[in-house]
């Protein structure tokens, strides 16, 4: 396999930049542009000061060179890392001189793809590396690190091992079908399949929370026009993200942004004010508001204390149609301008059973208490357990769903006395989908799609 090179630090100028080289000829090719202790004399995992030279033998930069010898490296190949000064020009010239020496420019995710191809990590761990790089909160970082260390892979491998034992017994019976010999106790197999189903279902069910941890728990800010939704969004984000005006219907489209509160990534969604409108653009915005309300995990119902009370009643009707299964917080806004008593009384009359809080979005009064209430209502699982597995990847989720369907058919076949060859087929299908997650079953199309989303240099 050819030797690849790329800048592994982010694009731009900084104090230092790291250029990574990996391949069977990494040490030999770098040696051609190195001035210092010969690489062949360097022990693995040691760093050395020297110069990197251009194609004419002139010094490009003084660098720190670190050698990693196969197989004890990330990629499983010989790896050399050059820490040079962070000038964009220096970075480009170092890569150019390495390519001139015989290296090839790495493609996106190629270092990680080689680690997968050389058996250093499985596919789910490779995807976790991308998630670690992209993590935006303590929770998402912990879940990704847990998966990268192999907690998910170990659980899947244990399931596949059980299924392999399962199918071996079934197929052994088929080999001795003429002798009418039973190797597989049907009651024991049913108990095993039931346990496997439970584990698969638990993993698939965790995706609901895992997706929120990874991409941000969606919190929709909804209400009539001029209730203070955009003002609240700006206050929560600490930035003038949304346009604020006294003119009704200013917000005509969905505005989203994220913020981390107490280690949890929240995705706040400011929606268009909901009212009757003949304006085509505003109507489209209102339709999107309802869609975002349906998708949200938490809904902040903005109530204007200065508005007519029938506005509250009308919106409550809309709310009950879209939010019967969500955590709804009634945010009684503009308490600096009017008393909240009539709103409180009306919420009681409507038998509103969600949480309620009084704030002034403009002055910031009560906003910190609102943030705390949002975290309490998030109800996301604790991620401190290093052995707990939470699924965050949609590819993994869909594979688990299909594996669950296959094990359901297996159980149904065992209960109805289905022939062993058909039961065996369902078991192997379940194993197939679990193997897709770890990469034991993979195609070039799947690998290309996964690694194309990595940054170059990783």
What is the pLDDT at residue 244? 43
What is the pLDDT at residue 220? 86
Is the pLDDT at 127 greater than 80, yes or no?
yes
Is the pLDDT at 253 greater than 70, yes or no?
no
CATH-assigned architecture of domain 4-117: 2-Layer Sandwich (3.30)
Superfamily of domain 129-206+389-439: tRNA modification GTPase MnmE domain 2 (1.20.120.430)
Give the mean model confidence (pLDDT) for residues 416-424.
84
CATH topology (fold) of 212-378? Rossmann fold (3.40.50)
What is the pLDDT at residue 252? 41
Is the pLDDT at 111 greater than 50, yes or no?
yes
Is the pLDDT at 304 greater than 60, yes or no?
yes
What is the pLDDT at residue 181? 47
Which among 72-81, 292-301, 316-325, 351-360 has the top mean pLDDT?
Answer: 72-81
The band of 414, judged by pLDDT with boundaries at 50, 70 and 90, is: confident
What is the pLDDT at residue 226? 77
Mean pLDDT of the chain: 85
The domain limits of the chain are: 4-117, 129-206+389-439, 212-378
Give the mean model confidence (pLDDT) for residues 112-140.
91
Give the mean model confidence (pLDDT) for residues 132-152.
89
Same topology, domains 129-206+389-439 and 212-378? Answer is no
What is the pLDDT at residue 242? 47
Give the mean model confidence (pLDDT) for residues 35-48.
97
Which among 7-16, 27-36, 287-296, 318-327 has the top mean pLDDT?
Answer: 27-36
Is the pLDDT at 400 greater than 70, yes or no?
yes
Stronger pLDDT, 292 or 110, i.e. the higher one: 110
| 3-state DSSP of the chain | CCCEEEECCCCCCEEEEEEEEECCCHHHHHHCCEECCCHHHCCCCEEEEEEEECCCCCEEEEEEEEEECCCCCCCCCCEEEEEEEECHHHHHHHHHHHHHHCCEECCCCHHHHHHHHCCCCCHHHHHHHHHHHHCCCHHHHHHHHHHHCCHHHHHHHHHHHHHHHHHHHHHHHHHCHHHCCCCCCHHHHHHHHHHHHHHHHHHHHCHHHHHHHHHCEEEEEECCCCCCHHHHHHHHHCCCCCCCCCCCCCCCCCEEEEEEECCEEEEEEECCCCCCCCCHHHHHHHHHHHHHHHHCCEEEEEEECCCCHHHHHHHHHHHHHHCCCCEEEEEEECCCCCCCHHHHHHHHHCCCCCEEEECECCCCECHHHHHHHHHHHHCCCCCCCCCCCCCCCHHHHHHHHHHHHHHHHHHHHHHHCCCHHHHHHHHHHHHHHHHHHHCCCCCHHHHHHHHCCCCCCC
Query: How do residues 323-357 score in pLDDT, each as one tens digit?
Result: 777 788 988 988 888 888 988 888 888 888 888 99
What is the pLDDT at residue 245? 42
Range from 124-133, 264-273, 356-365 carrying the lowest mean pLDDT: 264-273
Is the pLDDT at 41 greater than 60, yes or no?
yes
């Amino acid at each position: 396999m050819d030797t690849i090179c790329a800048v592994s630090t982010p694009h731009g100028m900084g104090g230092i930049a790291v250029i990574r080289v990996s391949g069977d000829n990494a040490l030999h090719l770098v040696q051609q542009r190195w001035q210092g202790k010969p690489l062949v004399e360097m022990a693995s995992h040691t760093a050395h000061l020297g110069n990197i030279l251009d194609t004419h033998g002139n010094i490009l930069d003084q660098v720190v060179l670190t050698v990693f010898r196969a197989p004890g490296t990330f990629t499983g190949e010989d790896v050399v890392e050059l820490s040079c000064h962070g000038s964009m020009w220096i970075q480009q010239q170092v890569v150019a001189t390495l390519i001139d020496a015989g290296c090839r420019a790495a493609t996106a995710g190629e270092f990680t793809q080689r680690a997968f191809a050389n058996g250093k990590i499985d596919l789910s761990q490779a995807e976790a590396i991308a998630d670690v790089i992209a993590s935006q909160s303590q929770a998402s970082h912990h879940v990704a690190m847990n998966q990268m260390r192999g907690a998910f892979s170990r659980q899947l491998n244990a399931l596949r091992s059980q299924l392999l034992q399962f199918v071996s017994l079934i197929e052994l019976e088929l080999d001795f079908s003429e002798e009418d010999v039973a190797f597989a106790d049907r009651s024991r197999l049913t108990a095993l399949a039931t346990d496997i189903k439970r584990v698969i279902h638990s993993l698939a069910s965790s995706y609901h929370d895992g997706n929120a941890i990874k991409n941000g728990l969606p919190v929709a800010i909804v209400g009539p026009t001029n209730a203070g939704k955009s003002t609240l969004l700006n206050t929560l984000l600490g930035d003038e993200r949304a346009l604020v005006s006294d003119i009704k219907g200013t917000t005509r489209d969905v505005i989203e942004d994220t913020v981390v509160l107490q280690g949890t990534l929240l995705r706040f969604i400011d929606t268009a004010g909901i009212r009757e409108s003949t304006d085509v653009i505003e109507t489209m915005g209102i339709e999107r508001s309802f869609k975002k309300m349906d998708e949200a995990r938490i809904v902040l119902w903005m109530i204007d204390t200065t508005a007519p009370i029938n506005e509250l009643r009308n919106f409550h009707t809309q709310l009950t149609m879209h939010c019967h299964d969500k955590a709804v917080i009634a945010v009684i806004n503009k308490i600096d301008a009017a008393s909240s008593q009539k709103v409180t009384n009306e919420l009681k009359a409507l038998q509103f059973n969600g949480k309620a809080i009084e704030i002034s979005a403009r002055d910031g009064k009560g906003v910190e208490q609102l943030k705390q209430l949002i975290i309490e209502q998030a109800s996301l699982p604790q991620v401190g357990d290093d052995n707990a597995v939470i699924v965050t990847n949609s590819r993994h989720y869909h594979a688990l769903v299909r594996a669950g369907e296959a094990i359901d058919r297996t159980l149904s076949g065992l209960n109805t006395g289905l022939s062993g060859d058909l039961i065996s087929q369902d078991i192997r299908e379940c194993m197939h989908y679990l193997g897709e997650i770890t990469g034991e079953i993979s195609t070039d199309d799947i690998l290309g799609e996964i690694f194309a989303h990595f940054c170059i240099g990783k």
